Chains A and B, each alone.
Chain A
Amino acid sequence: MTTSTTSPLLAGIGTIPVTRDLQMPIPDACVHVCREALDNAGIPASDVDGLFFTPPAMSGEPWMMFAAQMGEHLGITTKSLSLVENGGITALLALRSAMDAVALGRCKVAVVLASDARPLLDTNHFEAFVRGVAFSAMSLYGPVHGAMGLGAPIPIYAMSHQRYMHEFGVSPEEVALSSVQLRSHAVDHPLAQFRDPITVDDVLGSKMLSPPIHLMQAAGISAGACAVVVASEDVVKATGKPAIACSGYGEHHHPSHFIPRQGSITTFESVRESSAQAFQEAGRSPADVDVAEVYGVFGATELMLYEDLGFCDKGKASKFIQDGRSTFGGDVVINPSGGRMSFGHPAGATPLYEVAEVTRQLRGDAPGRQVDNASVGLVHAEHGMMNGSIVMVLEPWN
């Protein structure tokens, strides 16, 4: 029987820039970020005994036994091997699985490898898109939802945005502030996809997708890959390198998918519950957080997240931004990467990119965008429309 003897630590990270299309084949991207992450951790590949993957193109064709095939390609023998999938939360679930495995002593060094690319969203592949996305979207309740032709999440988030303005008296200009602020963070970020400065007028003048969501209030189409090394305390000690501990963890899945039958679409129960759990375990509060990476894929969603994570009162997030409290020099720097709307959103890999940014910030290794004295970090990821969330409080180890 195994017993828990160690805290799983985040020991190294590897990233490639986020781009519209992946700049290399998926296996090459995985190898690249894996090597960089191990180098960053100061741990040789021969010490790796766990590999945790996300599906290589989440909305694409299934790639059977991807984890085993990549294990072979990397030449790594493992005691723990897995592939995890559940929408946008996928990469953080894979990280949690790796941390569980290390904590249980099933392996000592696990590499979490997340990648995403969206080949099927090419308009030349419309039928494949219908098959890949709509088929799964309509699956369980095919006769109920399949006939409606709902194939994308944008209209669902649009209705949340509409309700947010309706319930809290927030104006379109105020919602647009989230896009402008995130872009200002991305401008100098070497990995970010969208870096040209924008204004509120630019946001509200951009193409309307599903009212009231404009183009610049939605994450674009992105590809990328990211790796995180999770290692046991004794392994990290031997490297002498700075590592990050997860001091608090929370996870909550509401029994719903996109629209909860009962409940709000402007206050997300899963975010409140998972952050409350994580803060309690860490012995921290939202006011303690110096830097956060959160999963706001749309403009109003970004605002609601600040509120439900406890950084500001309900309906007040745009004021929070306007007062400079969510950026450099404020209470907490939220999404110094530029967030999902400007950093880019390769969904299957996004949560690991968030972990990578917070890790760099906590190690003081974010030149040009370093948050002063960053010592408490937070990462949030979700699936559905916040129907499920994970929140991790991250802090430097020792």
Chain B
Amino acid sequence: MPANPLDTFTNQAVKVFGNEASREYQRRLKDDRTLCGTHCGSCGRTAFPPRDFCPDCFSGDCSWVAIGDGATLYAFTTQHRGLRFTAPDVIGVVNVPDVGLIVTPLSGRLDELEIGQAMKPEVVDINEKLSTHRFIPA
């Protein structure tokens, strides 16, 4: 199977534009099987995507925290020309307590999903170097 060009370009983009926090995010996803954000010890907000500073109060006092518990489905749709998953590629937005809205791939059929339903995160390995999160009905 030919390599997905997305792999090459994701790796290039990470090298050129990525940041340290997003690399640590990927390591935690891949090695620890945990979806993480960063929690600010100063103002208490949780950032996602994670940062090594707080985008709410600019404090550098940030620590890693697992997120996703208590998530609910906020909106969902499909894309037919997704660059990664085969059609129909179901994606959505979940509302995660203490974090807010997160865009995410979903597992499940479109006609079985419903706004407001309980969701939980899981880790999907794309290849040996790259993983992503997706949410599934809890």
Contact = CB atoms under 8 A, between A and B. Distances in A.
Given A143-B29, A211-B110, 17 more contacts: A140-B19, A146-B10, A146-B13, A146-B130, A147-B10, A147-B131, A148-B103, A148-B132, A159-B93, A160-B75, A162-B76, A162-B115, A210-B79, A210-B80, A259-B93, A261-B99, A261-B102
A206 interface: no
Contacts of B6: 130, 134, 146-147, 149
A142 B14 contact: yes
Given A154-B79, A162-B76, A143 B12 contact: no
Contact of A150 (B83, B101, B102, B131): B83
Closest 10 CB pairs of A and B: A149-B84, A159-B75, A147-B132, A139-B17, A143-B26, A146-B10, A149-B83, A261-B100, A158-B77, A142-B14
A372 to B, nearest CB: 41
B78 to A, nearest CB: 6
Interface residues of A, number: 42
Contacts, number: 136
Interface in B100-138: 100-105, 110, 115, 126, 130-132
Interface string A250-291: 000001001111110100000000000000000000000000
Interface of B: 5-6, 9-10, 12-14, 16-19, 22-23, 25-26, 29, 48-50, 55, 74-85, 89, 91-93, 99-105, 110, 115, 126, 130-132
A144 B84 CA distance: 14
A349 B138 CA distance: 45
Contacts of A152: 79, 81
B13 A138 contact: yes
B82 A150 contact: yes
B101 A259 contact: yes
Nearest to B100: A261
B14 A210 contact: no
A159 B13 contact: no
Interface string A9-44: 000000000000000000000000000000000000
A147 B100 CA distance: 21
Contact of A265 (B77, B85, B93): B93
A156 B82 CA distance: 13
A285 to B, nearest CB: 32
Contact of B13 (A142, A261, A265): A142
Nearest to B22: A143
Contacts of B99: 261
A163 B93 CA distance: 11
A243 B48 CA distance: 47
Most chain A CB within 10 A, of B29, B83, B89, B130, is at: B83
Contacts of A142: 10, 13-14, 17-18, 22
Contacts of B49: 141, 144-145
A338 B49 CA distance: 38
A359 to B, nearest CB: 37
Contact of B14 (A143, A150, A261): A143
A212 B115 CA distance: 14
Contact of B22 (A130, A144, A149, A163): A144
A163 B26 contact: no
A209 to B, nearest CB: 7
Given A150-B91, A156-B103, A258-B103, A143 B79 contact: no
Contacts of B19: 140
A210 B90 CA distance: 10
B26 A138 contact: no
Nearest to B27: A143
17 contacts: A130-B9, A138-B13, A139-B17, A140-B19, A142-B18, A143-B130, A147-B131, A147-B132, A148-B105, A149-B82, A151-B81, A163-B75, A210-B77, A211-B78, A260-B100, A261-B100, A262-B101
